[in-house]
Structure 1
C-alpha cells in the first residue's frame, strides 16, 4: 500500500522535471568522508553558504540519519547542456521542496529532501555577512555536501552515471527524498 501512495509523489516529481524516480532503501545510499573533501578542495562554494560544508552534516552524521529511515526516493534529472540548464534545475529543486512539504502535510512528517550542487536561492548567501539563512524553509543541502557518494548510490540503484569531461555535456543530476 505504501508503495502505491508514494507512486503519486513519484509521478509529481516526474511532472516537475525528474526523468526517473525510484523508491529505494536508505541502506543502498553510500556515505564516505572523502566526499566532503571534494567540496573543500575543488568547489568554490566550500564554507560559502549555509547549505555547504562545513555547515552541513558529516558523512557519519548523514549515515546515522539515513539509518533511521526505512524508505527513500532517488530522483534522477537528466540535464542537457542548454543555456537555461541551471534555471530549469532550480525550478525542479523548488518543486522537490514543495513535494517534501506535501509529504509532511500528508502525514510523512519525517520527509526531507537532499538536492544537488550548491544552493541557488540567493545571489549571495547570508553566511558571507554572518546572517542566518533567509530561506531556511526552502534551502536544502546537496547529497554530496552531506557526504553522500552520489555516483555509487546511483549505481547501487541501477542508474548509469559517469564523470563529465566537458561543461557542455548532458548531466545526470540526482536528489534524494527521505520518507517514512
Structure 2
C-alpha cells in the first residue's frame, strides 16, 4: 500500500476529495479498518457495455452501467456485512446523503452506515483486481466505452463465507 501515492491520486484526480466524509483526507487506512477481522472477501460485479448501446451518449451509458452495478453490489455487501457482523468497503464514495454534510460544514448524519470505498482506504483496486483475481478493470475515456465495466467491494468478516451464502443473495 502506497499511502502517499494514493492520497495524491485522490487529491488531484477526484472531485470528492475533501468534500465527503467518506473520502480522503477523512477516510481511514485499510490496515486500521481491517484490524480485528480475519477474512477479506472481494466481490467484483461486471457488465458488458453492449447491454447499454441503446444509450446514445457514451458517458451516460457508462454512468448507467456503473450505477446499476454499484447499487447491486452495495445491497449484497451490506447484507453480508449485517448477517456476518462485518464491515464492507463499498464502491465509490458514500451516496447515503445528498449533499454530504461535509459540504455543509456539518458532521456526518449517518456515521454508523457511512462506508469508505477501497480506494478511499488507500488500496490499489486495479492491482488487487488484476493480480489477485485476474480481472482487469477497464475505464471510460472521452467518447470511448470500454468493452465492460466493473465495480469492486471488499467485505471484512471473522467467519469464512461459503458459496451458498453468496449465491442465496444473488
Do they superpose with TM above 0.5? yes
Give the root-mean-square deviation of aligned CA atoms. 2.2
Q: Which runs of 5+ in 2 are unaligned?
A: 53-60, 159-170
Once residues 96 and 33 of structure 2 are traced to their aligned partners in structure 1, the CA distance between those partners, rounded to angstroms, is: 25
Aligned to 2:87: 112
Aligned to 1:3: none
Once residues 168 and 122 of structure 1 are traced to their aligned partners in structure 2, the CA distance between those partners, rounded to angstroms, is: 29
Mapped pair 1:97 → 2:65: no
Q: How many residues are matched?
A: 141
- TM-score by structure 1 length? 0.68
Once residues 173 and 129 of structure 1 are traced to their aligned partners in structure 2, the CA distance between those partners, rounded to angstroms, is: 29
Aligned to 1:73: 41
1:173 to 142, 147, 151: 151
Aligned to 2:118: 143
- The Cα of 1:141 is off from its aligned counterpart by 0.4
User: Are 2:138 and 2:150, in contact at CA under 8 Å, matched by a contact in 1?
Assistant: no
Q: What is the CA deviation profile of residues 121-156 of structure 1, one whole-angstrom value per residue up to 9, with x for unaligned ones?
A: 222100111222223233210000110011121223
Once residues 14 and 47 of structure 2 are traced to their aligned partners in structure 1, the CA distance between those partners, rounded to angstroms, is: 20
Once residues 154 and 86 of structure 1 are traced to their aligned partners in structure 2, the CA distance between those partners, rounded to angstroms, is: 17
Q: Tell me, what secondary structure is at the counterpart of 2:13?
A: coil
After TM superposition, where is structure 1 displaced by more than 4 Å over at least 4 residues in a row? none
Once residues 121 and 86 of structure 1 are traced to their aligned partners in structure 2, the CA distance between those partners, rounded to angstroms, is: 17
| Shift in CA distance, 79/134, structure 1 to aligned 2, threshold 3 Å | farther
User: Are 2:130 and 2:137, in contact at CA under 8 Å, matched by a contact in 1?
Assistant: no
2:2 to 24, 27, 32: 32
Q: Which runs of 5+ in 1 are unaligned?
A: 1-30, 105-110
**Comparing 75-84 with 46-55, which one deviates more in the overlay?**
75-84
Bigger Rg, which one: 2
Q: Tell me, what secondary structure is at the counterpart of 2:43?
A: strand
Q: Tell me, what secondary structure is at the counterpart of 1:151?
A: helix
Once residues 90 and 142 of structure 1 are traced to their aligned partners in structure 2, the CA distance between those partners, rounded to angstroms, is: 14
Q: What is the CA deviation profile of residues 21-72 of structure 1, one whole-angstrom value per residue up to 9, with x for unaligned ones?
A: xxxxxxxxxx2211222111101000110100011014xxx22444653311
